[in-house]
Amino acid sequence: MKNVLDVVDLTLEELNDLISTASDIIDNPEKYSEKCKGKKLATLFYEPSTRTRLSFTAAMMELGGNVLGFSEASSSSAMKGESVADTAKIVSCYADIIAMRSPIEGAPLVAALNASIPVINAGDGGHCHPTQTLGDLLTIHRELGRMNEYVIGFCGDLKYGRTVHSFINAISKYKNIKIYLISPEELKIPNYVKHEVLNKNNIEYIETTNLDEAIPNLDVLYMTRIQQERFSDIDEYNRLKNSYILTIDKLTNAKNDLVIMHPLPRVNEISVKVDDDPRACYFKQALYGKYMRMALILKLLDETKNNPKKESRIDYSNVKINEYKCTNPKCISQVEQELDHIFKCVDEKNKIYRCIYCEKKA
């Protein structure tokens, strides 16, 4: 583990190791308070994301390290005209580890390929946000007390919510998980998640539009926001919206030890009145996110110390270079100068190739 770009790159062993390190940090914070003394984290945030940036910053400070970077710069004002590759090379002169946030998909991968220090993806557009998912796993571990054998419901917009897809992907590595997928018809989970993740891993799942009916069965309830603009029919939106808002009333039939999660920020999808209920875990979830980032920083710096990161080259087996062109307008390959278009075979049988930067199909 030299970089953390996508949760799917991590093995079950690596996930469990991170969870166990984060847990030890929670239980023995003083043991870690000087671990990163003299080290520097660069927070390169090409778009504002205050929560994520403060979480990384707090994480590094609690390890005794320093933080530098930029926080809300458009690429034009931050690193004017400079490629992500050059920025990664220069920041390698100033820091020991990078957390990068960018609206451009694949930017952290290009940074990782060029930096001589570890790179953590702190969110690259709609593509990946691995530290959110890892913090969510830690929340399950600490609040539910087990990683296997539980019933979890995802409620809200399951179609566009990348957070949900990534989290389903991660928990599907564990055993005896049963999933309720609770959403309006228009916002059902995409077929590829069902086929490539749920069915492939033999995960039992139930699709429903009814939160009230599902809630009594759940050990974990993961709420997400439903945005009006996702609906083609505004009347349909108005008819449905309240049925997916979590209120004190809706919790009447829920289990006493239900774990309620939400990636935050919430708008109104969970009533403020629920916050005082002991089952509300969404602010603790933010806290767990910080501890998971501490574990990640520690692991990556340890790995680099033992085994300096010289080059992070691409695995050139089974790739096609400059044969296809990526058509995703948000892909880094559209804007970075002198960057090869590289597609990797992800399905030998059906000859499916995906862009290595943004995973768009060729």
Active site residues: 51-52, 80, 101, 129
Residue 94 interacting with its own copies (CB under 8 A): yes
Nearer to its own copies, 136 or 359 (CB): 136
Residue 304 interacting with its own copies (CB under 8 A): no
Residue 67 interacting with its own copies (CB under 8 A): yes
Give the list of residues 6+ apart from residue 40 with CB closer than 8 angstroms, or none: 65, 66, 67, 68, 94, 95, 96, 97
Give the list of residues 6+ apart from residue 85 with CB closer than 8 angstroms, or none: 110, 111, 113, 114, 336, 339
Residue 72 interacting with its own copies (CB under 8 A): yes
Q: Which of 172, 201, 208, 271 binds its own copies (CB under 8 A)?
A: 271
Q: Which of 178, 266, 354, 361 binds its own copies (CB under 8 A)?
A: 266
Total residues contacting its own copies (rule CB under 8 A)? 52
- Max CA-CA distance within the chain? 60
The candidate with the shortest Cα–Cα distance to 219, out of 256, 262, 244, 171, is: 256
Residue 283 interacting with its own copies (CB under 8 A): yes
Residue 80 interacting with its own copies (CB under 8 A): yes
Q: For the window 311-340, what string marks contact with its own copies as x by the rule CB under 8 A?
A: --------------------------xx--
- Residues from 132 through 191 that contact its own copies (CB under 8 A): none
CB of 57 to its own copies, least distance (A): 4
Nearer to its own copies, 265 or 329 (CB): 265
CA–CA gap between residue 59 and residue 294 (Å, rounded): 5
Token digits for 157?
């917009």
- For residue 224, what is the enclosing H or E element? none
CB of 336 to its own copies, least distance (A): 10
What does 273-300 look like in DSSP terms, one character per residue? GGGGSTTB-HHHHHHHHHHHHHHHHHHH
Residue 81 interacting with its own copies (CB under 8 A): yes
CB of 260 to its own copies, least distance (A): 14
Instruction: With H, G, I as helix, E, B as strand and everything else as coil, classify residue 353.
Output: strand
Binding site for its own copies (CB under 8 A): 33, 38, 40, 42, 48, 50-51, 54-55, 57-58, 61-62, 66-73, 77-83, 85-86, 89-95, 264-268, 271-273, 275, 283, 286-287, 290, 337-338
